[in-house]
A = this chain, B = another copy of it.
Amino acid sequence: MHLYEVRNRTVVVVDILRATSCMVTAFAHGVESITPVANLDECRSMKTKGFVISGERDGKKVEGFDKGNSPFEYLGDQVKGLKIAFTTTNGTQAIEKSKEAKEVIIGSFLNLTTVAKYLLLGENNALIVCAGWKGRVNLEDTLFAGALVEKLKEYLGPDCDAPLAAQHLYNLAKNDMVSFLNASSHVRRLNKLNIHDDIKFCVTPDQYKVLPKLKNGVLLV
């Protein structure tokens, strides 16, 4: 990420499995705000300030936390009006690193077209920040980046080869993303946690039209 200009851009933060998919699902069901928090202790301390605390480390819910990292925990009437403090292995760290950007928005397959339209109407160059796995490339975030490039290709030009590679991979995978991802290291890691339904849900495009956006360190729609 240090190789890319962040400052004057609209940054799309992506952590498909599962942080940004959870965030989009939560806002679609009426959550009031999500405060991304980089570390566990800080997140835990927010419980006393009226926040629901959500968190995951290495794919698992954190002990003592109210919610974990499955999008199914953020569905339905139960989440309406909640203020959530959220910390995850990769996703919230990616938001932290993007804070110098002109705008930070949250992307997932669930709000893919909404994100694409927002970028097209906006005046800033876009930077898609794939959270990956502990800093390394992962396939699912790359596929989302490719899907976004595919939607924007008539209007925007990539300035390096990473978007092109992502676009090729997305076109290869798009007809059956779940099978394509089954070989990936992160999905193999997550499959051990029995989250096959989560994965299927997280790669389903355009379920929601919300666009979470960072304002003074807090995500709102």
Which residues on A are within 8 Å of B, measured CB to CB? 3, 133-139, 142, 158-162, 164-165, 168-169, 172, 183-186
Choice from B133, B137, B160, B184 contacting A136 with Cβ under 8 Å:
B160
The distance in angstroms between the C-alpha atoms of A186 and B158, with both chains bound, is 12
Contact A164 B142 (CB under 8 A): no
**Which single residue of chain B is at the shortest CB-CB distance from A173?**
B168
Q: Which residues of B contact A134 (CB under 8 A)?
A: 3
Q: Give the shortest distance, in Å, between A153 (CB) and chain B (any CB).
A: 11
The distance in angstroms between the C-alpha atoms of A134 and B2, with both chains bound, is 12
What are 13 inter-chain pairs, A to B, with CB distance below 8 A? A3-B134, A3-B136, A133-B161, A136-B161, A136-B162, A137-B165, A138-B161, A139-B161, A142-B165, A161-B186, A164-B183, A168-B168, A168-B172
